[in-house]
Amino acid sequence: MKGYRLVAAGLLLATAACVAGCQSAYFGALEKIGIAKRDVLLDRVEAARGSQGEAEQAYVDALTAFRAVVSVEAGELEAVYLKLKASHDEAAARAQAFGERISAVESVADALFKEWEGELAQYGDATLRAKSKAQLDRTRSRYRTVDQAMRRAEASFRPALKLLGDQVLYLKHNLNAAAIGAIKDELPRLQADAAGLQRDVQRATAEADRFLKEFRVEAN
C-alpha cells in the first residue's frame, strides 16, 4: 500500500509538472507571435466576465421555468418537468464553464506576475525598478479583488443550483398536484438565492470592468 501511495504521488507530481510546462510553452508560443501575457489576461478576464453573465441568465431562465410549475395542471407536469430539467442542466453547465474561465484567468495571471516579479532584478535603474514594483503591486492587488469577486459569484451558483436540482428531482418522482403545492412553498427560498446570486454576479462584473479599464490605461 505504501508503494502504491508513492507511485500515485509521483503521478500527481508528474501531471502537475506537465500542466505547468504546457502552460509555459503555450504562453511562450504566443509571445513569439507578439501576444503578451497581459493581452491574454485581458482577453480571459473579458471571457470570464461574459461567461458569468451567461451563467446568471441560464439560472434565471431555469428559475422562470420552475415558477411555471405552480401554474400548470397536474396533467401537464411531465412536459413542464422536462423543460425545467433541461433549463437546470443548462444553468449547471454554464456555471461550470464560468468556473473553468476563472481558472484560465488565474493561470495566466500567475504566470504574468511571476515573470514580472523575476524581471524586476534586471533593472539597473533603481528608480525605474521601484516604479515597476509599485505598478506590479497595484495590478496584483486589483487582480486579487476581481478574482475574489468572481470566485464568490461562482460559489453562489452551487447552493442555488443544488436547491433547484433537488426540486427538479422531487418533481420527477411526484408528477401530481401535491408536488405543485410543495414546490410553491419553496419559491421564496429559491428567489432569495437568486437575488443573492445576482448581487454577487453584479459585483464581480463591476470589478472585472474596473480591472479591465485600469489595466488598459496602465498598458498604454
Shared-domain flag, residues 26 and 93: no
**What pLDDT score was predicted for residue 219?**
58
Shared-domain flag, residues 87 and 31: no
Nearest residue to 93 (alpha-carbon basis) of 129, 123, 57 = 57
Residue 125 main-chain phi, psi, to 5 deg: -90, 115
Query: Global pTM?
Result: 0.81
- Spacing of C-alpha 181 from chain mean position: 34
Which of 24-28, 29-33, 36-40, 43-47 is modeled with the greatest confidence? 43-47
**What pLDDT score was predicted for residue 72?**
67
Q: What is the pLDDT of residues 38-95, one digit of tens each?
A: 888 999 999 999 999 999 999 999 988 888 777 766 677 788 888 889 999 999 999 9
Shared-domain flag, residues 103 and 190: yes
Residue 154: enclosing H or E segment and its boundaries? helix 126-173
Domain around 9: 1-35
**What pLDDT score was predicted for residue 204?**
94
